Structure 1
Amino acid sequence: MIPAVLAPPPGASPVRLLCFHHAGGGASAFTSWTHALGPRWELFAVRLPGRESRLLEPRVTRHEQLLDELDAGLGPLPHTPYVLYGHSLGALVAYAFAQHRSRLGHPPLAVLVGACPPPHAAPPPLTADADDRRLLAALGRLGGMPAEVLGRAGILRRALDLIRDDLRLAQNLRAVPHEPLAVPLYAFAGDRDPMADHATMRGWSDCTTGPFDCHDVPGGHFFHSDPDFPVLLRTHLARLPTGLSRAFPEPSTDHREAP
C-alpha cells in the first residue's frame, strides 16, 4: 500500500481519507485526488496485493484475508479521525473494513461509497466464472478495459485473471453477514452508470442506522476518474453533520508536499 500524503497546515488536525479501488484497479485510480482535496487531508490510496508494485503477491479473494491484509497494512488507526471511500469493489471493501473497525471500537467518521450495488442486493451479472468473451463484453459496457490492454494478449490475460480474483472477493464479501453501521453513509451514483444507478445506490440506506444520502454525479461507472469528482467530494465532506464539518474545513490553496 502506498499512501499519497500531504502535510496539513499548522494548527489543523489531519483527517485521513482511505480510498479503496475498483476491481482490476489499483492505488493509481486516486493519484489525481491529492491536490483536489487539499492539504488538510491525508489521502491513503490502498493498494491490494496482486497489482502495480505488489504484482507478485498472492491476491486476496476472501473476507478474512482482506481484513488481515488491511489491519497489517494500515495499522490500528484508533486516534486518527478517518473517512472511507470505496469505488465499485472498493465500496464493499470499505463497508467490510468499517464493520470490522466498528466492532473493535474504532469506527470511521463516515463511509462513502460509489458505483456499487449494496451488499444485500442481487449481485451484478459480472461474475468470476464468466468466460473471456462475456467478461470482456461486460467490461466494455462499463468502459473498464483500455484499448492498449485489449491489443496485447499477455497483458490482457493478466488483467482478466486479476479482475476474476477481484470479482471472487466481491462475491465473498456479499456472502458474509452484514451488520448495519452506526455512522453516516453517503452513496454516489453516476448518472450514466449501467451497473449502479440512483435507485440501486439508495439501497445502501439499509447499511447504516446513521445519516444517509444518495447523490447523483456526472459520468459512467468510473466517474471517480473525473477531475471534478474529488472537488465535489470535498464539498460534501465539508458539509457533513454532527460536528464533522469542523473536522473537514475547506482546504486552503497551500499544497505543500510532506517531507
Structure 2
Amino acid sequence: MASTGSAWVRRFHPAPQADARLVCFPHAGGSATYYFPLSAALREAADVLAVQYPGRQDRLQEPCITDISTLADRLADELMPWADRPLTFFGHSMGATVAFEVARRLEESGVILRGLFASGRRAPSRHREEQVHLRDDQGLVEELRRLSGTDAELLADEAVLRMVLPAMRGDYRAIETYRYRPGPPLNCPVVTLTGDSDPLVDIAEARAWAQHTVAPFRLRVFTGGHFFLGEHTESVARELADHFGAAAPGR
C-alpha cells in the first residue's frame, strides 16, 4: 500500500499516469479494503483512493464519527489536496450519502466533481425511519445477516464481533440520524446503481437522485440485493472505466 500521509485515505494502486481520480466511500461498518478489487480493476483508468473512516482496522482505537455532517466536513478538508486532478466520487450505501455531502462542500469551495456514482442508497431527500443502531448486539448481527454483507464465519466469531460492532453501530447511528438539508443541487452528473431486490432501496427512491443534480442523471439496475456490488464488480468497473474514457477491464 502506498503511503498517502493521511489516516483517511488508502491508495492501493497508485496511478500517476491517470488524468483523473476516483474516491471511494465505504458502507456502514465497511473499510477502505472493501474497494481493493475495484481499485485493481481500474488501475489503468484512474488514480483510485479509498476512504478509511475512524474506528476500524488500523484506526480501530479512534472513536467513530457518528454524525454525517461532521464526517463530511472532515473528509472535505482531507480530500481537497487531491483535487489537483478531476475527481469522481463512488459511494456505496452510507458511503453514497457521505460522498454526496462531501461533494456539496467541495462545490462550495469551487471544486466541481466529474461525476458522482451513488450505489445502494436512496436519494438524500428520501427518508425512512430506521433504528438499527438502537438494537442490542444480537439485533445488529441479525441485520447484517439480512443484508448478506458480512461473511457468516465472521459473524460467528465473538472476538471479531467485539472489534467490528462498535464501528457498525456508530455508522448506523450516523446514517439513521442523517437528515437532508435542502440546498442547491450538484453541478456534476449523477449515476445511481441499485440492486433489484435491495430491501433498503426501491427503484423510485433510487431514481430520486435525479432531483439532486442539474447535470445529466442515469439509473442502472443490477440483479441482487443490497450488496450487489460484490457480484458485479467487473460490470461496475466497466461502467466507471467508460466514465473515465478508458479501456474497460476485460476488453
User: Counterpart amino acid of 1:84?
Assistant: F
Q: What's the CA shift for 1:141?
A: 1.4
Shift in Å at residue 39 of structure 1? 1.2
CA apart distance, 1:29: 0.6
Select the residue among 61, 66, 73 that pairs with 1:61: 66
Aligned length: 242
Verify the 8 A CA contact 1:96 1:173 in the aligned structure 2.
no
1:218 and 2:226 matched: no
Please state if 1:120 is matched with 2:117. no
Shift of 1:161: 1.8
Please show how residues 58-207 of structure 1 align to structure 2 within 5 Å: 58-123=63-128, 125-207=130-212
Q: Identity of counterpart residues, as a percentage?
A: 32
Kept in 1, the 8 Å contact 2:56–2:164? The answer is no
Q: CA RMSD, aligned part only?
A: 2.3
Conserved 8 A contact 1:195-1:221: yes
Counterpart residue identity of residue 202, structure 1: R
2-structure distance, mates of 1:75, 1:175: 23
Q: Report the Cα distance in structure 2 between the residues aligned to 1:55 and 1:219, rounded to whole angstroms.
A: 31
* Alignment match, 1:235: 238
User: 2:246 is matched with which residue?
Assistant: 249
Partners in 2 of 1:163 and 1:178 — Cα distance? Answer: 29
SS of corresponding position for 1:112 = strand
Gaps of 5+ in 2: 1-8
| Residue equivalent to 1:7 | 15
SS at match of 1:119: coil
Report deviation, 1:46. Answer: 0.7
Superposed displacement of residue 238, structure 1:
5.0
Taking a change above 3 Å as real, the CA distance of residues 235 and 33 of structure 1, as seen in their structure-2 partners, is closer
Do the aligned partners of 1:4 and 1:42 also contact (CA within 8 Å) in 2? no
CA shift for structure 1 position 187: 0.3
Distance 2:43 2:81 in 1: 24
Asked whether the equivalents of residues 76 and 105 of structure 2 are also in contact (C-alpha less than 8 Å), the reply is: no
CA distance 1:238–1:25, change in 2 (3 Å): closer
Asked if the contact 2:130/2:176 (under 8 Å) is kept, the reply is no
